[in-house]
Amino acid sequence: EPEVTQTPSHQVTQMGQEVILRCVPISNHLYFYWYRQILGQKVEFLVSFYNNEISEKSEIFDDQFSVERPDGSNFTLKIRSTKLEDSAMYFCASGAGYNEQFFGPGTRLTVL
Amino acid sequence: GENVEQHPSTLSVQEGDSAVIKCTYSDSASNYFPWYKQELGKGPQLIIDIRSNVGEKKDQRIAVTLNKTAKHFSLHITETQPEDSAVYFCAASISGGYQKVTFGIGTKLQVIP
């Protein structure tokens, strides 16, 4: 069964450093998403991406965040200058349309 | 924006008993309600969903109900098994191509053998 994959599983970085989280969505999906989950809190929507552009973003997704689909298979989330409060589990999801979203296993980001 | 409330936050049941998780939502425009199961170290996995034109849906031991008037929806797991132990999230969304999903806080279900 096809699944969303994410790398790395755990990323440790120093405050102020740039990080790139990588995702490979399910191959025939057209809609891509990033969510995050701070420990003990809700899973929160960050951004959705369709047709090579951002279709919606939350207030969390400020200028420090960007997304890219550099080729036909990868979908990345970049955080330019990480802050302590960016420490969270980041989930990538993809969908073929009409709501169903399939989530990857997540990348745990730890900012020191 | 949408707000989804979920309770209880933790639930312990004996193996074989039923478990019920309840959620409410705030945005009357929401019309798609997925439920996710998250096991340790994994991402949320869709286990069942319901759309607003349906009041109830069942898949083997799992059933979901939706009361659109009251903006309530619930997950029912019957004949619980130890492998049902996980965190369950309810969520709400507006049907459409790239609509974001708004999650509840999650319920940690423990099934005691």
Residue B85 near chain A (CB below 8 Å): no
Backbone torsions φ then ψ of A87, nearest 5 degrees: -60, 120
A97: chain B residues, CB-CB within 8 Å: 97
Sign of torsion, CA A73 B98 B88 A61? positive
Tens-digit pLDDT profile for residues A49-75? 998 999 999 999 999 999 999 887 899
B106: chain A residues, CB-CB within 8 Å: 42-43
The whole-number mean pLDDT for each consecutive block of 10 residues of chain B, a chain of 113 residues, reads 94 97 95 93 91 90 96 97 97 80 95 96
Average pLDDT of the segment spanning A7-36: 95
Contact call for A41 and B103, based on CB within 8 A: no
Q: Tell me the C-alpha distance between A91 and A82, whole Å.
A: 17
